[in-house]
A and B are shown apart, each in its own frame.
Chain A
Amino acid sequence: MASEKPLCLKGEKDLPELVVSLGSMLWHRTGSWRYLRPEYREKPAPCGHACPAGNDVEKFLRLASEGDFDGAWRTILAASPLPGVCGRVCFHPCEKACNRGRYDRPMAIQAIERFLADQASVRGLAIEAPPIGSSPDRVAIIGSGPAGLSCAYHLRLAGIKPVVFEAEGALGGVLRHGIPAYRLPKDVLDREIAMLAAIGIEFQTGRRVGKDVPWEAMGEYPAVFAAAGAHRGRRLGIAGEDGGGVLGGLEFLRQVALGLRPDIGKRVCVIGGGNTAIDAARTALRLGAQVTMVYRRSKAEMPAHPEEVEEAEREGVEIRFLLAPAGVAREGDGIVVEFQRMALGDPGADGRRTIVPAGGRNVFIRFDSILVAAGEDADFSFLPPAVRAEKGQVVVDEWGRTSEPRVFAGGDMAMSSRTVAHAIGSGRRAAMAIARALAAGGPAEPATEAAETAEAPPGGVEPVPFEAVNTAYFEHAERCRMPVLSMAERLKGFAEINLGISADAARAELKRCFHCGRCTACDNCLIFCPDMSVRRRPDGKYEIDYDFCKGCGVCGQECPRGVVEMKLDKERRQ
């Protein structure tokens, strides 16, 4: 506290040699002046926040930028067993969310994920899993697509033995039979599935539950995770649809994936505007066909990923819009499809504009075959009726719990967002819920309590907004470019189009990351604090001494990445 008696400096001898206070100023708690309070708190970066699979994107980018490629790969593995797959086929919502996108261009996160997975494979790294627990519990998983593989993997990491039932002869579900090899080479899929087999996940192929294995056989498992996907192509509901020369888009892709070469002739029509339609069109192109895609609405309404649409057009797929199929007729060797002209109407419930008949004469186009990709439905006829389903989906909560206590579901059969990343995330969350339920003992009861204490799904804390990033600390830098196969080489077959980035390119790209919300111990707050009220903690990060911090806000301003944030100081305003 301040000295009791007033200062009395009579002369030169009482004064210090230099202009300095006579004693320590620690008594002077300048914190009492504060009405704004800096808060030092790490926050989620938007990339990881946006990742449906739950990847800690910022962390793996950070480790990779420090040169720890193995650590970065293992960080991805904490959320997803399929980085080689996601690094190729994920539609990277992380990059859409990336704050850097509002500065110049987003981080090339997907390219880096792929680089990390590929280099881990080259170096022969293996997944590390704990020993399987003494409990005899085994969990049945129906379907070996991304949801099933993810659930099996996370259960295995929790020390639980999973058994995966796959209806097809080979593993991977939609990854193997739906996604063409030019996007996802089969050896990449094989390599990641082999890693899962190596940690003791049991796979049974050619075992369709409900046919080869009766549902009753599931009774021996304390929990079942159903992730059989959505494979049944929707019909157009028009005359002539059921004759020859008309094939479902997904079925077509499955046949090609199995090495068959379905006879589609020269002129091929693909009906639909989703990703399956695009995949079917580009696959048909590679079989030598001349492909016309026909979509009812306009380009803006296409559900397919814009990058995929662009690539399809570059490869030579013709896309015609605002034509709705109205009938199919056969003429000689070919097929004539009748289309009704459409026009855009008002926006519908999903925000996309609806279509209305435009009037005028219908259009007739001649083709050799038609591939119908108007969407897919899930087949859950193998599930008991007690498992409730609505609108073509099994009803689940965010932890994948169905209306039936022992039964969990995920992936395309239980979700409206049908992406690989969402499927991986659903498998992971279900695995957490199952592990919790099993740990609680006995058959898996509706685990409300467990759900609350389990690791929170993404979405708890708001991610760092772009405005919180101090871009003065970052130089503009070009985003790395993905090297691609030449157009001529692509159409010769199913070779992978994207060739992957080099280690040098990855390193350069990694330097672009803002590391939003993550304290990198840059010392800015420490250096800029005019009151030395920011202190270094033993772990190298910081703490704020509120006894002396007078809330000037410089630390918040100079934090490059939104870790230090100024808030109204409620304590001091009472």
Chain B
Amino acid sequence: MKKVIMGNHAVSYGVRLARAEVIAAYPITPQTQIVEELSEMCSDGRLKAKFVKVESEHSAMACCIGAASAGARAFTATSSQGLALMHELLHWASAARLPIVMTNVNRALGPGWNIWTEQTDSLAQRDTGWVQLYCEDNQEVLDSTLMAFRVAEAVRLPVMIVYDAFFLSHTYEPVDIPSQEDADALLPPRKLEKGTFMDIEDPRTFSNMTPPDYFMEMRFKLERAMRRAKDEFGRAAGEWKKLTGRDYAAIETYRCGDAETVLVAASTAVSTARVVVDSLRGKGRKVGLLKMRMFRPFPYREVVDVLRRTRKVAVLDRNISFGSGGIFATEIKAALSNVPGHPPVYGYIAGLGGRDITPGTIEEIFDRTDRNGVPDDPITWIGLKP
């Protein structure tokens, strides 16, 4: 059934269809309508879940860790400073191998106080062992929420769904709400294997002291699970396509076949870039687009396969790692570095703190990439007021 809904409510619908059992959230800024709608669903019985109102985002994650440890399907949502506050527990959730799903609405970290979109908050958590999926439209937000639970539970790792504040979070557009049958087919109840969750009948010690003799092996297992997450996402997406016709993959290419310049982007900038690519193609320019849906695990093979064939790579980063550069650009460079004769990578930073990324912004990136030689500086600022 199609409905005109905002991105935040697309998450709420997804969580409801996923039959989440525990939702923990801190309800104050930078929280969004995601949990507001979920609390209503819990109170009016549309969702049979325990809604726990906690006193901070740190507590929200702690609550999800507890719930997931006990075998429940747990969810929370946050943004910017709230995500930063969770940092310590994000490591815990992944190393304890808990299939928690969280939505992070990308918002800039203050100060200056800013509630608009920027990816630095989620990308700053890239090393915490969470799967990260970036969304382009409200449909993808909803579908990704369901697939996130599936992937999380299959590989026992937490998954973060990420999308832009306002450009999706508060934007109304038609979304196909899947049927409960389809949702259940993709996502059966969480399987609880003996010795993997806290069971009063089979008490075990969890998160034990792990000495140097064994610690590396545990980390190896976590990394292996992270790699499996990509395959599991592929399987989930394949089943979802059969059920709904909608196709998702770790990365997506748009008109890259003979492209000489490929723009790499994530989130809503991808959507606008599709319009620009069409427009430039209409003018005979050989441009293409690579959408990064999955950032962790980083889809090295897929990215390299696409980019090694092109002449120039432009990366649009709505984020910054100070003293280094755009985080997507850095990772793309790393992915290509061992490919003989790989194309140069142009790093562009635009749209920080919610500044609009317009078709003009993207056109400028293509123009500069086509026109200029390999830049000395890893950062080229777009739209910076002189």
Contact = CB atoms under 8 A, between A and B. Distances in A.
Q: So, do A and B actually touch in the complex, CB under 8 Å?
A: yes
A32 B95 CA distance: 32
Interface string A22-38: 11111000000000000
Given A16-B195, A18-B196, A24 B207 contact: no
Interface string A8-27: 01011001111111111110
Closest 9 CB pairs of A and B: A18-B97, A21-B205, A12-B217, A21-B204, A25-B203, A19-B207, A24-B202, A20-B206, A20-B204
B113 interface: no
A532 B195 contact: no
B200 interface: yes
Contacts of A25: 203-205
Contact of B221 (A9, A12, A24): A12
A26 B200 CA distance: 10
Nearest to B199: A24
Nearest to B196: A18
B97 A12 contact: no
Interface of B: 95-97, 156, 195-196, 200, 202-208, 210, 214, 217-218, 220-221, 225
Given A18-B97, A22-B195, 14 more contacts: A11-B217, A12-B217, A12-B220, A15-B217, A15-B218, A17-B156, A18-B156, A18-B218, A19-B95, A20-B208, A24-B204, A25-B205, A26-B202, A26-B203
Contacts of B218: 15, 18-19
Does more than half of chain B's interface fall in helix, strand or loop, or is it mixed? loop
Contacts of A12: 217, 220-221
Interface residues of A, number: 16
A25 B208 CA distance: 12
Nearest to B208: A19
Contacts of B97: 17-19
A545 to B, nearest CB: 10
Nearest to A548: B203
A475 B271 CA distance: 54
Contacts of B206: 18-21
A19, A20, A23, A26: most-surrounded residue (chain B CB, <10 A): A19
A12, A20, A22, A24: most-surrounded residue (chain B CB, <10 A): A20
A253 B203 CA distance: 73
Given A12-B217, A24-B204, A17 B196 contact: yes
Contacts of A26: 202-203
A17 B206 CA distance: 12
Contact of B96 (A19, A21, A24): A19
A21 B208 contact: yes
Contacts of B95: 19
Given A12-B217, A12-B220, A23 B204 contact: yes
Contacts of A20: 195-196, 204-208
A20 B196 CA distance: 8
Contacts of A11: 217
Contacts of B204: 20-21, 23-25
A397 B180 CA distance: 75
A410 B202 CA distance: 61
Contacts of B221: 12, 15, 17-18
A24 B203 contact: yes
B200 A532 contact: yes
8 contacts: A11-B217, A15-B218, A17-B156, A17-B225, A18-B206, A19-B95, A20-B208, A24-B204
